[in-house]
Structure 1
Amino acid sequence: MNVTQLPSAFTDKMKHMLQEEFTDFMASYDEPRLFGLRINGIKLSPEEFQAKKREDFHLTPIPWADHGFYYQEENRPGKHPYYHAGLYYIQEPSAMLPVELLDVQPNDRVLDLCAAPGGKSTQIAAKLGGTGTLVVNDIHSDRVKALVKNLELIGVRNSIVLNERPERMMSTFASFFDKILIDAPCSGEGMFRKEEDMARQWEKHGVEVCSAMQHDLLRQAAAMLAPGGTIVYSTCTFSPEENEMQIAAFLDDHPEFEVVAPSAALAGAGLSTGRPEWVSGAAKGSAADAVSRTVRLWPHRLKGEGHFAAALRLSAAPAPAEAGASHAAAAKPAAKHRGGGPAKAAADLAPLHAWAAVELRFPLLEEGKLVSFGEHVYMQPHGIPNLAGIKVVRPGWYIGSLHKGRFVPAHALAMGIRESEAVRILPLSVDDPRIIRYLKGETLEVDEAELKLHSPVASNKMAPAKGWSLVTVDGYPVGWGKWLDGMMKNEYPQGWRWT
């Protein structure tokens, strides 16, 4: 980006803040953009991906993300069958840090409060590894579509998607979550090199407007955090008003929280500390000093864009009675979502039960709690509180739909299962030209001998060749097809197709 395109008010502010570092900071805008991807731990490990030794990718590790890698722009990983198999997520390198600070553990209940388009949500899901519960939310209905698609592409089975104002969530999820991520809306100063339009829009965004919104988000998240839990607050801006000052003010109002410094491994990855000297106003004393344990990523000090993050731990431990009460809502049944129809009677789900018994090799119906709205059926994670009055986009893993007494599996079901969990598989190699044809939506010629057939979970009898087939690339699902008489009818969704 040409530095002459930067707003003069921004450069004046940064010169005052950075002093002798300002020249190096400005020089970073003349450097090329950096590109990153994160291997999807739900489906494979970085070692398994690297073992493929493909010439399509030239990857070098990102030091603060154990599954993150820099790639060369000419690699174009978005134009590769592995992308359509959900083997990785394309993500700006610095944006991978906040979830690393969140320290997600198996079986955690996690909330991504400002989630769209879903990069950090998919990172959290990989950390959970199919355990626990992930609730993702975004207030912008137009952005939620991308969020849903990315979760389905990555193969997440244990999430629900909301499109709700955080203040409406507070009572439903009071003291519910072990971990909460707030990737807060901000003035975006750290993204000027990546997205030049943000620089042009900077003065319209307003640091003051963003600061007020961030203050509310922190307060609202605190009400939904269980005792002993952690909030990670992050921005992609340099503004102290949105970073150090925001955290210091929060600590002044919430002395039960403390800032947790990054682990030694992360601290040694080139990260910088927050700057207490930039805190002014009402925040004083220990609250101001605590921001030295927050984290800044500077583009002139490491290979990434500008970010800020703070890990805030609720230090109070619950009494035994309180611990049970804090999650009492989890025992309530899930209700219909606002704007949705009533759940179907159990008998209406008989076609799903019948389909799963003969088309799958694992007990799908034990994954969670079946809920349905209209003709659509979802598998909801166990322990979700009553969602009455909450705007729900996806009440769970989308399994499929019911049509005139038959069940049609969803694309999300195909992306969420493994090759070993389907009875009928068309295994394609990444070098087979038919994989691109499949991703474009074309019908394929497939000899019966090419199919891998297995017995379903409910029987020892081998499945017939005719029927629903899981199409895979190098062993990883990309979608459904229906095989009959040497032809594979393509069931790949139109909106997902290769262009």
Structure 2
Amino acid sequence: MALPTPFIEKYRDLLGTEAEAFFDALSNGRPVKGFRLNTAKPNAEVMLAKYGPERSKAPYAKNAYIGEVKGKSLLHQAGYVYSQEPSAMIVAAIADAQPGERVLDLCAAPGGKSTQLASQLNGTGLLVSNEIFPKRAKILAENIERWGFSNVVVTNHAPHELSRHFPHFFDKIVVDAPCSGEGMFRKDPVAVAEWHSDAPRQCAIRQQDILQEAVRMLKPGGQLIYSTCTFAPEENEAIISWLVEEYPFVIQSIDRANVAHGRSEWGNVPNIEKTIRLWPHLNQGEGHFAAKLLYQAETKPTKPKKSKAKSTQSKLDQETVKLWQAFQQNFPFLPTNEGSLQIFGEQMWLVPNALPNLKGMKVLRPGLHIGTRKKNRIEPSFSVAMAFLAGSQGPILSITIEQWKQYVAGETITVPGNAGWVILHVDDVPVGIGKQVQGVVKNFFPKGLRFQVD
């Protein structure tokens, strides 16, 4: 790979004797592929051993591996694994969301950090995963759906729009900021082609705009986790210096082994060295920067209005309540203690208790999609199958791996019996919803997700 000449000149000046090793790692090193395991799924480690790829332990996160996951594999389709570059895993690991917290992933697509944060929360509290671009937000929602937790909300807003709805609301905010992408050079040729010498400065302006809105949504005493996948000091140490100078933030230490640290000479405030850097010539994975800051503001948090009846939502009538009670008996594992049932049009959702009023918001996923209310029944959604986590009890129908290939292609499959609505399993892996009538399983795998297995 040929590096841009201005890039070489810049980092030769910044890194001195270290520069040649850095350039060699970028030009000749090979990117490392990785993935994380969703341990909330039934018998996750056993199923990984049976159906997963060759792997070794990854360095920066729990349940993380070096190895390549195929997008059309059984475990990926069922939300058991998420393909993620190893260095990117360190950001959510630093955030270390605790059960019950309110967490925002502000620039969330395609979902690597959000799925990691969701695992940390383990179905409690609230995770808002936001993405400004609609197409990317749709991909984010699909990845969140597969991961299986009910307490995750996907929104589609610019930061300045989102901040109006969540004033001083979140315990933790993760900002994996849009950046010049220098850390992805050996992984993504487009990042090299699009780079120019003014890109870091332009990105830094945008990063400041995003962070100003993030601060408006952070509780006093909350934590801001900031990260980029670039080497540029303008977007890393300089941004953290700006934050500390403009707002009552304190840089906190990040206790991680085998990482490099921020360069104090590239910042303007004390403790810049408490930030971390991952360099391709020093650490495993691609380039990354991360910082954790404590917000020491004295302002009292503003409590957003609780979610009430909205123009798109109707209260449950008596008939719907009866249908819902029957539905719960068939699918008793749904986590109703963490959310309330709400109807938007004919779509039924389990909405997290901690979520404020949704009025005026662009929401792709207001919680767990239960299904569609139809005459005399509730038709379960694909999300219900994905929410079948370890320890769940419900109507299971076992199918073979060959039948699974038919299922994800949208075909009906034949299995003797007449069980009605069932959650299809390959071994212990829940893969979707079907309706078994007189030995034929009608296919309810979402049309937009269907694929042919090679």
Q: TM-score, normalised by structure 1?
A: 0.85
Is residue 422–residue 433 contact of structure 2 (8 Å, CA) maintained in 1? yes
Q: Distance in 2 between matches of 1:439 and 1:67?
A: 27
Match of 2:451 in 1: 498
Q: Distance in 1 between matches of 2:52 and 2:232?
A: 39
Write the letter of the residue equivalent to 1:11.
I
**Which residues in structure 2 correspond to 1:49-198 (within 5 Å)?**
49=45, 53-54=49-50, 56-71=52-67, 73=68, 76-198=69-191
Match of 1:36 in 2: 34
Q: Secondary structure at the match of 1:174?
A: coil
Match of 1:276 in 2: 264
| 1:442 counterpart (391, 394, 411) | 411
Q: Distance in 1 between matches of 2:405 and 2:390?
A: 19
Is residue 174–residue 223 contact of structure 1 (8 Å, CA) maintained in 2? yes
Cα gap change, 1:204/1:491 in structure 2, threshold over 3 Å: closer, same or farther? Answer: farther
Q: Distance in 2 between matches of 1:11 and 1:171?
A: 42
Match status 1:477 vs 2:438: no
Q: Distance in 1 between matches of 2:344 and 2:286?
A: 42
> 1:123-178 deviations in whole A, cap 9, x for unaligned?
10001011110011111112111000000011121011111121122232111111
Q: CA deviation at 1:437?
A: 1.9
Q: Distance in 2 between matches of 1:351 and 1:419?
A: 28
Is residue 7–residue 197 contact of structure 2 (8 Å, CA) maintained in 1? no
Q: Secondary structure at the match of 2:243?
A: helix
Q: CA deviation at 1:387?
A: 2.6
Unaligned runs of 5+ in 1: 449-464
> 1:251-302 deviations in whole A, cap 9, x for unaligned?
0011x21111112xx1x1x2100011123xxxx4xx2x22111010001112
> 1:296-325 deviations in whole A, cap 9, x for unaligned?
00011122000101001113578xxx4xxx
Unaligned runs of 5+ in 2: none
**Which residues in structure 2 correspond to 1:100-499 (within 5 Å)?**
100-203=93-196, 206-254=199-247, 256-263=248-255, 266=256, 268=257, 270-279=258-267, 284=268, 287=269, 289-315=270-296, 322=300, 326=301, 328-329=303-304, 332-334=306-308, 336=310, 341-347=311-317, 349-350=320-321, 352-362=323-333, 365-418=336-389, 421=392, 423-428=394-399, 432-448=401-417, 465-499=418-452
Q: Distance in 2 between matches of 1:22 and 1:370?
A: 57
Q: Secondary structure at the match of 2:160?
A: helix
Q: Secondary structure at the match of 2:183?
A: helix
Write the letter of the residue equivalent to 1:434.
Q
Q: CA deviation at 1:358?
A: 3.8
Higher mean alpha-carbon deviation, 366-375 vs 343-352, is at: 343-352
Q: Distance in 1 between matches of 2:402 and 2:276?
A: 46
Match of 1:454 in 2: none
Q: Distance in 1 between matches of 2:343 and 2:304?
A: 21
Q: CA deviation at 1:420?
A: 5.5
| 1:24 counterpart (16, 21, 26) | 21
Q: Secondary structure at the match of 1:53?
A: helix
Cα gap change, 1:394/1:228 in structure 2, threshold over 3 Å: closer, same or farther? Answer: same
Q: Distance in 2 between matches of 1:7 and 1:117?
A: 28
Q: Distance in 1 between matches of 2:391 and 2:137?
A: 31
Q: Distance in 2 between matches of 1:33 and 1:383?
A: 40
Q: CA deviation at 1:97?
A: 0.6
Write the letter of the residue equivalent to 2:304.
A
Is residue 38–residue 69 contact of structure 1 (8 Å, CA) maintained in 2? yes
Q: CA deviation at 1:487?
A: 1.5
Higher mean alpha-carbon deviation, 309-318 vs 14-23, is at: 309-318
> 1:353-379 deviations in whole A, cap 9, x for unaligned?
144144213465444122222121211
How many residues are paired up? 450
Is residue 221–residue 295 contact of structure 2 (8 Å, CA) maintained in 1? yes
Write the letter of the residue equivalent to 1:62.
A
Write the letter of the residue equivalent to 2:447.
Q
Q: Secondary structure at the match of 2:314?
A: coil
Q: Secondary structure at the match of 1:482?
A: strand
Q: Distance in 1 between matches of 2:198 and 2:427?
A: 46
Q: CA deviation at 1:189?
A: 0.7
- Structure with greater contact order relative to length (CA < 8 Å, sep ≥ 6): 2
User: What's the % identity of the aligned pairs?
Assistant: 38
> 1:100-129 deviations in whole A, cap 9, x for unaligned?
111211111000001111111011000101
Match of 1:451 in 2: none
Cα gap change, 1:44/1:158 in structure 2, threshold over 3 Å: closer, same or farther? Answer: same
Cα gap change, 1:157/1:363 in structure 2, threshold over 3 Å: closer, same or farther? Answer: closer
Write the letter of the residue equivalent to 1:297.
L
RMSD: 2.2
Higher mean alpha-carbon deviation, 394-403 vs 110-119, is at: 394-403
Write the letter of the residue equivalent to 1:400.
G
Cα gap change, 1:334/1:70 in structure 2, threshold over 3 Å: closer, same or farther? Answer: farther
Q: Secondary structure at the match of 2:71?
A: helix
Q: Distance in 1 between matches of 2:103 and 2:323?
A: 29
Q: Distance in 1 between matches of 2:21 and 2:56?
A: 24
Is residue 42–residue 125 contact of structure 1 (8 Å, CA) maintained in 2? no
